[in-house]
Chain A
Amino acid sequence: AIQLTQSPSSLSASVGDRVTITCRASQGIGTALAWYQHKPGKAPQLLIFDASTLQGGVSSRFRGSGVSGSASGTDFRLTITSLQPEDFASYYCQQFHESPYTFGQGTKLEIK
């Protein structure tokens, strides 16, 4: 199974900051990667699909990208600009290159 490794596992930031979360796949997955936001007591929300396409209704402060030069799609980033109070949550990447459709271990974004 493809393993996804997210870093950092936790992150403290302030309102207005810009933060970046990375997700590394154990093998090339092209652009078959999605990012979700997950808040306690709620269902996960799709933010980004196809590595860099913003899901409808999601703020443009969220940006997904593949790291240039990474071999066949192994390194990805989620960048959140101008952090807002509602952005403090956990974030997960998920690959759709092949079943099982594994998730990264998550990144918890906390208020500094």
Chain B
Amino acid sequence: QVQLVQSGAEVRRPGASVKISCKASGYTFIDYYIHWVRQAPGQGLEWMGMINPKGGGSTTYAQKFQGRVTVTRETSTATVYMDVGSLTSGDTAVYYCARPKSGYANDPFDIWGPGTLVTVSS
């Protein structure tokens, strides 16, 4: 079945970086964008950015995350990675990868990963 499997929980110090993964299975990896969404404790959902796994792997980020977040993909393993740098306590959150219903970037997300908890603490 179609699924996204994410890497496990991470703990980092402020100022460090973290790289989390999202492995896709059950569908043709390059045919669907992958988006990243996070939820900080007690807060709502926040869209961070996306990658088109096809071709050169073009990316789009929310302005808030430009320059600090990098999303990449490895087509051989059907895996998307998100690297978040210069971490602060405000980055403590559950990070989700999600796949749209269709091959279009701007389609709602019907497949989600289980989430990866990132804790930033000194």
Contacts and interface: CB of A to CB of B under 8 A. Distances in A.
Contacts of B73: none
A43 B114 contact: yes
A43 B96 contact: yes
Interface residues on A, range: 20 to 34
A25 to B, nearest CB: 14
Interface size class of B (residues with CB under 8 A): 20 to 34
Interface of B: 35, 37, 44-47, 50, 60, 62-63, 96, 98, 101, 105-110, 112-115
A102 interface: yes
Given A55-B110, A100-B47, 8 more contacts: A36-B45, A43-B98, A44-B112, A49-B107, A92-B45, A94-B47, A102-B47, A103-B44
Interface string A83-111: 00000001010101111111111100000
B45 A96 contact: no
Contact of B44 (A45, A49, A105): A105
**Pairs of residues from A and B, 4 with the lowest C-beta to C-beta distance, nearest first:** A43-B112, A34-B108, A106-B44, A100-B62
